[in-house]
Amino acid sequence: MNFYRLLNQMINYIEKNLENEISYSKLAQILGVNEYTMKSIFGLICDVSIAEYIRKRRLSNAGFDLCQTDEKIMDIAIKYQYENATSFSRAFEKFHGIKPSQVKKKAQNLKIFTKIIFDENIEKNNDIEYSIIEKNEIILYGKGKKTNKENISKDVPEFWKRMNEIYKNNTIKFGMIVYENRYESEKYEYWVLYSEPIQGLEEYKIPKSKWIKFIIHSQEAKEIQKVSHQFYGRILPSLKYNLRQIPELEYYHDHITEFWIPIED
């Protein structure tokens, strides 16, 4: 079945249940993957986490309800799954920029976060070839740099260049992004990793795993991000593999990058 049609079915389920508890397991079931994979794919395709999407849709609808109905703030808070009026008011003001009690006077300031609709006619990019590999535990040595979603495209090449200068007698073999809480937090760490132990660097163990491997004919950060997003958004969904909760790896050699995505057996 067309994967983007399944995504639209998932969105429709969310829309029907904005006033109810939304089951992540049900969303994953609609896509035919596990919850972690569902969150991963949605976050990469939409550039917003599933939790953030649901939160913004509820707050958008709550603004309309406060403006167009006589419902009480507490009733609307409960309606959209907030435990109390205080937490609702705090979230509402952060999203809309005004307090719920100000809506009647300042309705023109309300924000709208629209429902996502996926184009079911998107053609899949079939130019990316992949293979399945299996690796025993890998022990690597390196250092990480804290970054975030906003700065990662700038921080990664700068950090890579600096590490290459400091440890110029050694060759960087792998790059890795470690997430604090993937698709729920914008805090990351990017790691540069070497195959051999080097004084001052930390040991990092990658557990035995199966991996989807595809090749990017570049070692430039922007090109790696571009192709990896294409793979996640257009190729991975049709493969129906469940992802493991360990970091992806970028393996650098011979002027190319092998991108490894960990999958469950």
SS (H, E, C) 109-146: HCCCCCCCCCCCCCCCCCCCCEEEEEECCEEEEEEEEE
Under DSSP, is residue 100 helix (H, G, I), strand (E, B) or coil? Answer: helix
- Domain extent, residue 44, equals 3-109
pTM: 0.79
Q: Are residues 141 and 252 in the same domain?
A: yes
Helix H or strand E encompassing 195: none
Q: How many distinct structural domains can be found in the chain?
A: 2
Handedness of CA 73, 74, 75, 76 (dihedral sign): positive
Do 180 and 255 lie in a common domain?
A: yes
In a domain, 153, yes or no: yes
State the 10-residue block means of pLDDT for the chain, 265 residues long: 86 96 95 90 86 96 93 95 94 94 82 90 68 96 90 88 93 89 75 94 95 92 84 79 91 94 91
From residue 210, alpha-carbon distances to 84, 126, 174, 248, 261 in Å are: 45, 22, 17, 11, 8
**Whose CA is closest to 59, among 42, 82, 83?**
82
Residues 84 and 177 in one domain: no
Q: Report d(CA 35, CA 198) in Å as an integer.
A: 38
